[in-house]
Amino acid sequence: MNDAPEQRPRLKIADALDLAPAPERAQVTLPDHVGHYIGGSLVPGRDEDRFDNVDPATEAVLNTVATANEAEVGRAVKAARKAADGVWGQMSGADRGKYLYRIARRIQEKGRELAILETRDNGKPIRETRDFDVPTAAAHFFYYAGWADKLDYVMPGRRGRPVGVCGQVIPWNFPLLMAAWKLAPALAAGNTCVLKPAESTPLTAWALAEILQEVELPPGVVNIVNGAGATGAAIVGHEDVDKVAFTGSTPVGRIIMRQIAGSKKRATMELGGKGAHVVFADAPLDQAVEGVINGIFFNQGHVCCAGSRLIVEESIADAFVERLKLRIASLRIGDPMDKNTDIGAINSKEQLGTVNSYIEIARQEGATLWQGCANEPPEKGYWVKPTLLTGVSQTNRVVREEIFGPVLAVVTFRTPEEAVKKANDSEFGLSAGVWSGNEARLFEIAHALNAGVVWANGYNLFDPASPFGGIRHSGFGREGGIHGLYPYLRLEA
């Protein structure tokens, strides 16, 4: 026991971390089929155009999913209009708030079930869905419940009135949380909604529809239709939709903006990103290593605000990358239902192809590639080990384009001006992080970074009271906080 450190037997990290499995034990029955929730009823949808929903960690089919066509979308919009003009539009804000509180409480009560559904559907580790996605979704409903009877105080001297029927289209990376970001402020403001989950992650929205029934939300206030891009386009293009709220990729955001150009529709766009971490030599380095890893690897890089670029001061770059590698080599990849798992599965075969194609592009661009983990991924399923790219430059595609996978590109800087220039040299502007031990520098650099959200000595920190959103090709409009209410309100004098 008292051997000098150099005489102690050294375990390889992988051996030291050969943990016993710790599978989530709660049992949840998955639905065989996911349909639509229209006018307060769960309906199976048409027999045609059904598609399989695949578990990304095993490639097994979880269930089938219905595709809503224009007629079904039309029924959902009609139900939303009826509720907007009727029961929901005429209800007091205080009473609307009570429904939001009930939804929040029910999400908490069913937290374990929702976390399991999300993990099976999305492939992200149960630790994340249990400790972040589900509680944060509940927190958004709690937060906006408090606003429902205070709409006349959103902007002094103005009265807050609902916009009407909102068409909301969301991605697969935070399915329940994105639904909460969309629904909670819209409902608090007195609007009604037609929501479309992403085609590869319909399960938690389906469970949410059951929750809406359980809390007896009046029929038509929220409608959920499933399907892929054509269903999304039918919602966005429906003439009786007053507001479009989209979260997804920048290319699809552009298509939607073209589609609704010239119409009376309002819009908010939460699009892609290429977040930068700027790490100065005087930064708290262990904290920065954790922040960088949390910012890109813990959700397989499936985060719009992922810190996918590391811009590190040249004097510490090699040492910092070595620290990163050491920590990454301790991360466990595999079964997302195991509580020991750090890195889950890539959400779909298609996304796996995209990530792998960028890794190939990095090779062709001459990058030095390093991949690590504590263990080998399972044979079945869609996996990418955390990947570091060094020897890259600002002009490389892997530094400029959104990969949406666990791939971190590393570039260096010598002066603060160079760091800011490199961080801002992007068509996106969603998120950025700065790491330094000098507070004056933190403030100076944070102000100089062109991004909707900037974290200082931290990353991926969220609070329902705090607005989130992008600039440039990362979109416009904010979700969260009082700013998240503005797009859902007509502010009258």
340 within 8 A of 19, measured Cβ to Cβ: yes
Cβ proximity to ligand NAD, 34 vs 312, nearer residue: 34
132 touches ligand NAD by CB under 6 A: no
Listed in order, strand segments (DSSP E) in 414-464 are: 431-435, 453-456
Residue 190's closest CA among 226, 152, 157? 152
Q: Is 373 one of the annotated active-site residues of the chain?
A: no
One residue of 108, 213, 249, 263 binding ligand NAD per CB under 6 A: 249
**Nearer residue to ligand NAD within complex by CB, 241 or 448:** 241
Beta carbons of 398 and 407 less than 8 angstroms apart: yes
Report helix, strand or coil for 17.
Answer: coil
**378 with 372: CB under 8 angstroms?**
no
- Report the distance separating Cα 331 and Cα 326, nearest Å: 10
Element holding 61 (H helix, E strand): strand 61-65
Candidate list 199, 270, 313, 402, residue with the active-site label: 270
- Which residue of the set 166, 193, 304, 373 is catalytic? 304
The site string for ligand NAD over 467-486 (x = CB under 6 A, - otherwise) reads ---x---xx-----------
What is the contact mask toward ligand NAD in residues 319 to 358, using x (rule: CB under 6 A)? ----------------------------------------
Residues 169-208 binding ligand NAD (CB under 6 A) are: 169-173, 196, 198-199
| CB of 198 or CB of 408, closer to ligand NAD | 198
Considering the complex, state which of residue 91 and residue 408 has its C-beta at the smaller distance from ligand NAD.
408
CB of 322 to ligand NAD, least distance (A): 30
Q: Is 228 in the site for ligand NAD (CB under 6 A)?
A: yes
Measured CA to CA, the distance from residue 493 to residue 487 in angstroms comes to: 16
Residue type, position 164, single letter: G
User: Least distance from C-beta 471 to ligand NAD, angstroms?
Assistant: 11
Q: Is 276 in the site for ligand NAD (CB under 6 A)?
A: no
CB nearer ligand NAD, residue 114 or residue 304: 304
Binders of ligand NAD in range 380-419 (CB under 6 A): 402, 404
247 binds ligand NAD (CB under 6 A): yes
Binding to ligand NAD, residues 68-127 (CB under 6 A): none
257 binds ligand NAD (CB under 6 A): no
What values do phi and psi take at 224, rounded to 5?
-125, 120
Among 273, 291, 301, 484, binds ligand NAD (CB under 6 A): 273
Q: How many residues bind ligand NAD (CB under 6 A)?
A: 30
Contact of 19 with 332, CB cutoff 8 Å: yes
Query: Of 252, 310, 398, 454, which one interacts with ligand NAD (CB under 6 A)?
Result: 252
* Composition of the chain by helix, strand, coil, percent to 5: 40, 20, 40
> 281 is written with which tokens?
């030599």
Please tell me whether residue 418 adopts helix, strand or coil conformation: helix
Reading the block at residue 146, the tokens are: 């408090």
Helical (H) or strand (E) element with 267: strand 266-270
Which one of 34, 62, 91, 233 is in contact with ligand NAD (CB under 6 A)? 233
Q: Which of residues 175 and 334 has its CB atom nearest to ligand NAD in the complex?
A: 175
Q: Which residue is nearest to ligand NAD (CB)?
A: 232
Q: Which of 232, 336, 386, 433 binds ligand NAD (CB under 6 A)?
A: 232
Q: Identify which range of 205-213, 232-240, 293-301, 307-315 contacts ligand NAD by CB under 6 A.
A: 232-240
The minimum distance between CB 50 and ligand NAD, in angstroms, equals 16
Q: Tell the smallest beta-carbon distance from residue 4 to ligand NAD (Å).
A: 50
CA distance 58 to 405: 18
Verify whether residue 304 is a known catalytic residue.
Answer: yes
Minimal distance in Å, beta carbon 453 to ligand NAD? 9
Confirm if 302 and 333 have CB atoms less than 8 A apart.
Answer: no
SS (H, E, C) 281-303: CCCCHHHHHHHHHHHHCCCCCCC
Spatial distance between the Cα atoms of 377 and 445, rounded to a whole number of angstroms? 39
Pairing of strands 387-390, 489-492: unpaired
Side-chain half-sphere of 287: how many Cα atoms within 13 Å? 15
Residue among 271, 222, 228, 273 nearest 247 (CA): 271
Beta carbons within 10 angstroms of residue 15's beta carbon: 9
Catalytic residues: 270, 304
Binding region for ligand NAD (CB under 6 A): 169-173, 196, 198-199, 228-229, 232-233, 236, 247-249, 252, 255-256, 270-273, 304, 402, 404, 430, 470, 474-475
